[in-house]
Amino acid sequence: MTTNTQNVRNIGISAHIDSGKTTLTERVLFYTQRIHAIHDVKGKDGVGATMDSMELEKERGITIASAATFCQWKGYQINIIDTPGHVDFTIEVERSLRVLDGAILVLCSVGGVQSQSITVDQQMKRYNVPCIAFINKCDRNGASPFRVIEQLKSKLGHNAVAMQIPIGLEVDHQGVVDLVRMKAFYFTGENGEVIEEKEIPDNMRKMAEQKREELIDSATLFSDELTEAVLEEKPVSEELLKSAIRAGALKRQLTPVFMGSAYKNKGVQLLLDGVTELLPSPAEVVNTALDLSADEAPVTLKTETNLPTVALAFKLEDGQYGQLTYIRVYQGKMAKGDTVINVRTGKKIKIGRLVRMHADQMEDITELPAGFIGAMFGVDCASGDTFVSPGVTLTMTSMYVPEPVISLAIAPKDHKAEINMSKALNRFSKEDPTFKTYVNDETNETIISGMGELHLEVYIERMRREYNAEVTTGAPQVAYRETITQKAEYDYIHKKQTGGSGQYGRVAGFIEPCEEDFIFDSQVTGGTVPTQFIPACEKGFKNCMAKGPKLEFPLTNIRVVLNDGASHSVDSSDMAFQAAARGAFLQAFPKAKPVIQEPIMKVVVETPTEFQGPAMGSLNQRRGIILGAQDEGVMCSIEAQVPLAEMFGYSTVLRSLTQGKAQFTMEFAAYKQVPQAIAEEIAKKAAEKKQKVA
């Protein structure tokens, strides 16, 4: 195994659902001779694509977990992370983007830039992942790759430029013209493995020349040498043009666009060439870690094997030999028999077995140098953990994890299911940071929470299939919150002198709305509240934040100011002041005009234009505010903000309204105040629930 990172590419393939990324990955593996037969996602042979190894994925035709796989192309080693396309699993996408050096953005030549592509593109921007685009499905009716390029520019703000033009579209799609080499490429043979290089057909020459001009024009921005050559009207060499395009792509200022049809085996090999020629090697990407010993100051990592090891566990899987941990090594190397430390727990770990993954087969290796992606066995950790050499205190940046917005009560059907359920929950919450589980103290119910209805549904399904745990589910619950809207003062004395030692504490001040979740501000002067009791006051107030006094939703955005009080030399204690704080909060809270807030989701519905009316009507019925409708010829997309509470079961409603032709995505937008009528209803329900518990 080589350690030269120059020839390594860690790439991801991300796209909107049903743009064909799993099919594309399948073809890539076939041409790189990792697999020897092609099985399609919803193929008739029932085998399913190689990357979709989970049973559920095969059934639903969607990819849930990102399997990492390894292949070789023309002397380059390519690690591919197949990422899920549904918005409910974006944490998976984000986590994979973190370990990638480059990405292929797959777009459908008919659907173009769809809502999910926009989300994925924003994530790529956040992690600064350079990308190339692949316009897939050029064989489909209504294919229009140049419209998609326009959309890349207008909707995603990419400086997109065509590297190829298609030879024939829809059923006539035969191949592509490479604008760098100025040659036509046809793909023949049973699976398109034979590439024929020919002269450009005469009827396309003019267009090819014009598009090449555009390509050179965009590339001149990134190379002075190229600009000079163009100005002096010298011929532009292939290498010169490619290096200029590469420079632009690495800075994310130019997006080279490839096209073809993975399903019809057109253009995939040229895309692979593009990956090796235009996307960065691990050494060309700047990765930073946080130094725990220096107040989390950022440290730049170097992709060198002789430095101390820093590696990140980005994905866990439950295999037949125990937990499989996918890791990316950023610095140093991981070798069999080495000892590393898990920074989060501080535990020492001995590396037993290292493997390189290919979907559900694996290959044993002895070491994993910096820049590579692999997996290890038998290590107990959570995803997102950092492994380092002893003595190093670096951690990879804590990944941005959104708070769950929906929760569901689940109960096992029988005793056997109970044990399996707890096993499954333990595993899932380790695998997926957006999936949380806890037991409600009062109702004794097990609650799971996550990012959407489908997110939780998939986990319940997995529990049933993989862990043989049958569970019954309650109605989904929305994560409401409470906050205050105005300043209110408090002045409270806690006094108790019945038996034993007495308790005495007085606190005074005010509470008011603020931006942060909770701020405690002590402005006590003259020691009216002795310094040693101030932390107790803070604790007392903070404990109140977990649950509102009336509705029992968590409280946020409250600033508590303590500016006066009194104590007693004998009877004052931590406990007394905590109780005083609690009493003071209960006194001030109702006066501060509390309101309930609910999560509002940004919903984008994509529908054929003829169903625009019913689709908008359905959003409107759900208390949605429709921001706008975007007409894109055959399809149109409607953007709206809708409360999550109203979105349950929406996919079924939308499907029946539009003959199954529309789809929608949603993501959390903001917490907003609940309208008065709804607030009263929630209060009523909360009161009922309280009674039931009592």
User: Least distance (Å) from other proteins to the CB of residue 143?
Assistant: 17
N- to C-terminal Cα separation, the chain? 66
Return the residues of window 634-653 that contact other proteins according to CB under 8 A. 637, 639
User: Least distance (Å) from other proteins to the CB of residue 636?
Assistant: 9
Residue with tokens 């003071």: 584
Does residue 680 interact with other proteins by CB under 8 A? no
Return the residues of window 471-500 that contact other proteins according to CB under 8 A. 485
Rounded to the nearest 5°, which phi and psi values hold at 309? Answer: -80, 135
Piece in contact with other proteins (CB under 8 A), picked from 25-33, 201-209, 221-229, 633-641 = 633-641
Nearer to other proteins, 407 or 618 (CB): 618
By CB under 8 A, the count of residues binding other proteins is: 21
By CB atoms closer than 10 A (0-12, 13-18, 19+), residue 64 is buried
Rounded to 5°, the CA angle 413-415-416 comes to 95
Nearer to other proteins, 497 or 630 (CB): 630
Return the residues of window 265-304 that contact other proteins according to CB under 8 A. none
User: Least distance (Å) from other proteins to the CB of residue 641?
Assistant: 8
Q: Print the binding letters for residues 236-265 with other proteins: x by CB under 8 A, - otherwise.
A: ------------------------------
Rounded to the nearest 5°, which phi and psi values hold at 426? Answer: -60, -45
User: Least distance (Å) from other proteins to the CB of residue 639?
Assistant: 5
Does residue 155 interact with other proteins by CB under 8 A? yes
Does residue 211 interact with other proteins by CB under 8 A? no
User: Least distance (Å) from other proteins to the CB of residue 489?
Assistant: 17
Piece in contact with other proteins (CB under 8 A), picked from 89-97, 179-187, 362-370, 624-632 = 624-632
Q: Which of 631, 680, 681, 688 binds other proteins (CB under 8 A)?
A: 631
Q: Which of 382, 514, 626, 686 binds other proteins (CB under 8 A)?
A: 626
Piece in contact with other proteins (CB under 8 A), picked from 358-366, 542-550, 623-631, 661-669 = 623-631
Return the residues of window 596-615 that contact other proteins according to CB under 8 A. 612-613
Contacts of 129 (CB under 8 A, 6+ apart): 12, 97, 100, 101, 102, 103, 252
Return the residues of window 658-677 that contact other proteins according to CB under 8 A. 672
User: The dihedral of CA 523, 527, 530, 531: what is its sign?
Assistant: positive
User: Least distance (Å) from other proteins to the CB of residue 595?
Assistant: 10
User: The dihedral of CA 209, 212, 14, 101: what is its sign?
Assistant: positive
User: Least distance (Å) from other proteins to the CB of residue 17?
Assistant: 20
Nearer to other proteins, 462 or 622 (CB): 622
Cα–Cα distance, 609 to 636 (Å, whole number): 6
386: β partners: 312
> What would the two tokens of residue 62 be?
């969607």
Does residue 632 interact with other proteins by CB under 8 A? yes
Distance of CA 106 to the CA centre of its chain: 17
Piece in contact with other proteins (CB under 8 A), picked from 41-49, 188-196, 627-635, 680-688 = 627-635
Q: Which of 546, 586, 625, 687 binds other proteins (CB under 8 A)?
A: 625
> What would the two tokens of residue 606 be?
């994509």
Q: Which of 322, 390, 402, 617 binds other proteins (CB under 8 A)?
A: 617
User: Least distance (Å) from other proteins to the CB of residue 675?
Assistant: 11
Q: For residue 562, give the nearest of 633, 609, 512, 618 by alpha carbon.
A: 512
User: Least distance (Å) from other proteins to the CB of residue 631?
Assistant: 4
Contacts of 390 (CB under 8 A, 6+ apart): 339, 340, 341, 348
Nearer to other proteins, 168 or 513 (CB): 513
Cα–Cα distance, 173 to 384 (Å, whole number): 44
Q: Which of 4, 237, 620, 676 binds other proteins (CB under 8 A)?
A: 620
638: β partners: 605, 629
Q: What is the DSSP letter of 104?
A: E
User: Least distance (Å) from other proteins to the CB of residue 668?
Assistant: 17
| CA–CA distances in Å: residue 543 to residues 96, 532, 578, 582, 618 | 37, 18, 9, 8, 41
Q: Please list, residue by residue across 380-402, b when 16 or more beta carbons sit within 10 angstroms of its beta carbon and e when fewer do.
A: ebbbbbbbbbeebebbbeebeee
Quick check: 300 and 291 in contact, CB under 8 A? no
User: Least distance (Å) from other proteins to the CB of residue 533?
Assistant: 36
> What would the two tokens of residue 138 be?
């050029």
Does residue 122 interact with other proteins by CB under 8 A? no
User: Least distance (Å) from other proteins to the CB of residue 154?
Assistant: 6
Nearer to other proteins, 352 or 617 (CB): 617
Residue with tokens 């050096």: 101
Footprint on this chain of other proteins (rule: CB under 8 A)? 154-155, 485, 593, 612-613, 616-617, 620, 625-633, 637, 639, 672
